Amino acid sequence: MFLAVFQQNPIAAVAMLLGFAVGIVLHEAAHAYSAYALGDDTAYRYGRVTLNPASHLDMMGSLMLVMVGFGWGRPVPVEPSKLRGGVWGPVAVAFAGPATNLAIVALCAVLIRIPPFQGRLVLFCILGIAFVNALLFIFNLIPIPPLDGSKVIFPFLPRSLSSFVDFMNQYGPYILLGLVLLTFLPGVSPIGYLLSVARPLLLLFGIPPLFG
């Protein structure tokens, strides 16, 4: 997707890369800060309670992002047993990442209405950041491990579904990888389905989609 966008509109492609960098760094930092605030110092001891991009960006994930338009950050280490709040502690830490991406979208909605941010290049960057963070918000809430959605939803499933939860925890990463790989097959694009949800989300905030 990234290379196709770069060929059609280099400015939009750079804006998307900026959006991914901002979104991934703040997403992972939100996990780390929320875990630390709830009593788990694991992320702090690993140097993750910071906004330093070097602490949150993964080398391979960043390379894949530039090459194919799909990447990831370094997972934040969390010890659920150290968190306050019972079952709500891990849920809050998991939801902190996507919530931060949504907050970035909301901030972009404010910025595009302020005259100093309405220049063409600046506006493109803001739209790119909003577009990508809308995607990150939706994508990370998919209830497939290791995505945050599974950590938000699975704790509240009835015990009768424990075998399903065990299955998803074991095979979820492979299922997710398969869905991502399908994106690169002609005529099959799970990412395209994400885009169809991201656009209404952006419009809800009064943000014109970066594409179409």
Take residue 78 and report the two structure tokens written for it. 């969390």
DSSP 73: B
Torsion region of 85: left, alpha or beta (phi above 0 gives left; psi -120 to 50 gives alpha): left
> Can you give the pLDDT at residue 88?
97
Which residues make beta-bridge pairs with 57? Answer: 73
Based on the structure, what is the number of domains in the chain? 1
pTM of the model: 0.91
> Can you give the pLDDT at residue 3?
58
Whether 209 is covered by a domain: the verdict is no
DSSP 85: S
Domain with 169, as residue range(s), is: 2-204
CA-to-CA separations, 212 to 19, 76, 152, 198, in angstroms, rounded: 18, 35, 32, 12
> Can you give the pLDDT at residue 1?
56
Whether 123 is covered by a domain: the verdict is yes
pLDDT tens for each residue of the chain, 212 residues long: 555 666 677 787 788 888 999 999 999 999 999 999 999 999 999 999 999 999 998 888 777 776 666 678 899 999 999 999 999 999 999 999 999 999 999 999 999 999 999 888 899 899 999 999 998 999 899 999 999 999 999 999 999 999 999 999 999 999 988 887 787 777 767 766 776 888 899 999 999 977 65
Which has the closest alpha carbon to 168: 147, 141, 190, 193?
Answer: 147
Look at the alpha carbons of 63, 169, 83, 141 in this order and tell me if their dihedral is positive or negative: positive
Residue 37: burial class (beta carbons within 10 Å; 0-12, 13-18, 19+): middle
At 57 the three-state DSSP class reads: strand
